[in-house]
Amino acid sequence: MGQVKSQFTEDELQDYEDLTYFTKKEILYAHKKFKALAPEKVSHNKNCKLKLAQVLQYPELKVNPFGDRICKVFSSSNDGDITFEDFLDMMSVFSDCSPKSVKAEHAFRIFDFDNDDMIGKNDLRQVITRLIGYNNTLSDNDVDQLILQILEEADLDDDGALSFAEFEHIIDKSSDFTNSFRIRL
């Protein structure tokens, strides 16, 4: 632990601890996981920027149909490339200690593909397509019907899209949301 810890000052670790849901030990472990994605690059610069493709090699992101969206939401440069601070923020939000409200805010941003602060029909189509996979057996008509059912149940103001408040209302009803919206370090 001493070798990795030497990359950070006590003040840096304290700041990270204050800004995340992690302990100093967990922060150091997160850095170890980040470093494993590009050991030579991170050894020279503890907060270097890793390309999206490198970050998507993280096991739980690699198999997640929203891995690229997750990275883009947490990327400080909006291109999907990730610094250690971005990675730490991402892992903190996906941790067990992160409150449901914080998870809901980030889930909304991940599902809002067009970044218009609403989850509309096109956003829902992309969510469904990713969830069922690209080799799905649902026809376009089936997907359209599913979108209409979602909006019928969740679009409380009948504007054809889900606002954050409507999305949060759905999340509040979901007992399994916090368990499914996590990534283990």
Residues pairing with 162 in the sheet = 119
pTM of model > 0.75: yes
CATH superfamily of 100-181: EF-hand (1.10.238.10)
Contacts of 36-43 with CB under 8 Å at 24 or more apart are 42/84
| pLDDT score of 136 | 75
Distance CA 82, CA 72 (A): 8
- Smallest CA-to-CA distance from 105 within 3, 177, 30 is with 177
**Domain covering 11-94 in this structure, CATH number:** 1.10.238.10
> To which H or E segment does residue 5 belong?
helix 2-5
Cβ contacts of residue 129 below 8 Å, gap of 6+?
Answer: 136, 143
Task: Write out residues in the chain with pLDDT < 50, as ranges.
Answer: 1-5
Distance CA 123, CA 101 (A): 21
Per the structure block, which two tokens stand in for 7? Answer: 């990359």
| pLDDT score of 6 | 57
| pLDDT score of 137 | 80
Domain edges within the chain:
11-94, 100-181
Do the domains spanning 11-94 and 100-181 agree at the CATH topology level?
A: yes
Provide the angle, in degrees to the nearest 10, between the axes of the packed helices 100-111 and 164-173.
130
